[in-house]
């Protein structure tokens, strides 16, 4: 069944000052907009639930300052929203003066923590494409220092903030989003384990389990991630989807052409092979391997079959448990 996805989807809030880059991040990561087109985006001005809910593994909302969020407005039920949130991403524009942003970050984080101690607080130091390498490191150090000083002054040193340097002009935004999402997946160690077993038995160098719509990878094997490999895999997903949008068969008009039959092989001229296969409605596996290993495609496909089955079982077991749990509570 596919409905497990609605139960286990990580819920993410994207917040930050107006013009910090939230809509751009949303459009580039989830709607394939090219970074240059974001120059003409209209600013977000309402609490905005993204429509990706039905097409991606990830579920998220955007909140904007100033604007709709007023913690002092009694009719604004932020508590309910924070309770259901797994990660709060706070976007700070690194090309701008960030004093006001830090004040908002502090207010938001302390409010959210009061309501829900389990939220992961993730700070995106964003638009760093405009900064030199030295300046990037200096900015990260400064933001880290000031944000944590503010928390310490308020006696809130228990709150842990994670920091990422991001830009929509390279893969850093996808990489950061991937890490944020991975923290929200309770089955991550199991997924990593399965990927390790799969690649070592199949002669594969590296494998990523992707949310194919966003190119966020939700798990990979334990070999360290090389940015170039990750970028190649992302590019492959783009190519495959562009081609299947043009030539793919849409049985009921509209909708996605991504289904159980989806598979793609790209041979690069340096004896590397990229191999993509459908795993679930939202997830795909992209493998990176040598041409020699690909000669044993039968073995790889057999191992993949076992891997895919295991993934389905992991998510299905969890849904069943959730469903029982809900019934138990009369929901
Ligand atoms: P929002 O109000 O927070 O939703 O901000 P927008 O997404 O509308 O972005 C405001 C401006 O920042 C736009 O002109 C974007 O093109 C620009 N922007 C967003 N992300 C980046 C980035 O990573 N680098 C650079 N240089 N500009 C960005």
> Is pLDDT at 79 greater than 80 in this prediction?
yes
Mean pLDDT of 75-85: 80
* Res. 78 pLDDT band, cuts 50 70 90: confident
Which residue out of 24, 92, 96, 126 has the highest number of ligand 1 atoms within 8 Å of its CB and is therefore the one to mutate?
A: 24
Measured between alpha carbons, how far is 155 from 149 in angstroms, rounded to an integer?
Answer: 10
Which residue minimizes the CA distance to atom 24 of ligand 1? 127
> From ligand 1's centre to the CA of 61, what distance in Å?
17
Which residue minimizes the CA distance to atom 1 of ligand 1? 19
Query: Taking Cα atoms as reference points, which of 186, 168, 28, 16 lies closest to residue 88?
Result: 16
List pLDDT tens digits, range 113-165.
Answer: 999 999 999 999 999 998 999 999 999 999 999 999 999 999 999 999 999 99
DSSP 289-327: EEHHHHTTHHHHHHHHHHHHHHHHHHHHHHHHHHHHHHH
pLDDT at residue 3, rounded to an integer: 41
Mean pLDDT of 170-185: 92
How many other CB atoms sit within 10 Å of the CB of residue 281? 18
pLDDT at residue 238, rounded to an integer: 87
List pLDDT tens digits, range 227-272.
Answer: 889 989 989 988 888 887 777 665 555 556 777 778 889 998 888 9
Pocket lined around ligand 1, Cβ cut-off 6 Å: 16, 18-24, 38-39, 41, 43-44, 126-127, 129-130, 167-169
Mean pLDDT of 207-214: 91
Report the DSSP pairing between strands 283-290 and 161-166: unpaired
List pLDDT tens digits, range 262-296.
Answer: 888 999 888 899 999 999 888 999 999 999 999 99
For the ranges 56-65, 150-159, 177-186, 299-308, the lowest mean pLDDT is seen at 56-65
Mean pLDDT of 80-102: 92
Instruction: Name the residue with higher pLDDT: 239 or 322.
Output: 239
* Res. 5 pLDDT band, cuts 50 70 90: very low
Query: Taking Cα atoms as reference points, which of 163, 85, 151 lies closest to residue 126?
Result: 163
> From ligand 1's centre to the CA of 266, what distance in Å?
33
Measured between alpha carbons, how far is 21 from 10 in angstroms, rounded to an integer?
Answer: 21
Which residue out of 15, 38, 172 has the highest number of ligand 1 atoms within 8 Å of its CB and is therefore the one to mutate?
A: 38
* Res. 2 pLDDT band, cuts 50 70 90: very low
Q: What is the atom index within ligand 1 of the atom nearest the CA of 168? A: 23
Which residue minimizes the CA distance to atom 25 of ligand 1? 127
How many other CB atoms sit within 10 Å of the CB of residue 114? 11
Query: Taking Cα atoms as reference points, which of 314, 62, 71, 39 lies closest to residue 187?
Result: 314
Beta bridge partners of 125: 92, 165
* Res. 27 pLDDT band, cuts 50 70 90: confident
Measured between alpha carbons, how far is 224 from 222 in angstroms, rounded to an integer?
Answer: 6
Q: What is the atom index within ligand 1 of the atom nearest the CA of 173? A: 23
């Amino acid at each position: 069944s596919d409905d497990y996805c609605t139960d286990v989807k990580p819920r993410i809030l994207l917040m930050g000052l107006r013009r910090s880059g939230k809509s751009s991040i949303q459009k580039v990561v989830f709607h394939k907009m090219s970074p240059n087109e974001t120059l003409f985006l209209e600013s977000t001005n309402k609490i905005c639930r993204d429509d990706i809910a039905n097409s991606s593994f990830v579920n998220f909302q955007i909140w904007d300052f100033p604007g709709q969020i007023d913690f002092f407005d009694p009719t604004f039920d932020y508590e309910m929203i924070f309770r259901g949130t797994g990660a709060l991403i706070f976007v700070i524009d690194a090309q701008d003066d960030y004093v006001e942003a830090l004040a908002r970050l502090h207010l938001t984080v302390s409010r959210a923590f009061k309501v829900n101690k389990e939220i992961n607080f993730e700070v995106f130091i964003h638009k760093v494409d405009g900064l030199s390498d030295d300046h990037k490191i200096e900015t990260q150090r400064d933001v880290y220092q000031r944000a944590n000083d503010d928390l310490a002054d308020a006696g809130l040193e228990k709150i842990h903030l994670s920091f990422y340097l991001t830009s929509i002009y390279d893969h850093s935004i996808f990489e950061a989003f991937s890490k944020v999402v991975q923290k929200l997946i309770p089955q991550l160690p199991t997924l990593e384990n399965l990927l390790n077993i799969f690649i070592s038995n199949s002669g594969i160098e590296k494998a990523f389990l992707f949310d194919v719509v966003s190119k966020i990878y939700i798990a990979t094997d334990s070999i360290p991630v090389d940015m170039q490999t990750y970028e190649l895999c992302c590019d492959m997903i783009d190519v495959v989807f562009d081609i299947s949008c043009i030539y793919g068969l849409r049985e009921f008009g509209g909708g996605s052409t991504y289904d159980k039959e989806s598979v793609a092989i790209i041979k690069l001229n340096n004896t590397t092979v990229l191999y993509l296969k459908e795993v679930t409605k939202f997830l795909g596996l992209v493998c990176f391997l040598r041409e020699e290993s690909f000669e044993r495609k039968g073995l790889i496909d057999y191992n993949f079959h076992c891997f895919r089955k295991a993934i389905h079982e992991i998510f299905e077991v969890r849904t069943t448990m959730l469903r029982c749990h809900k019934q138990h509570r009369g929901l």
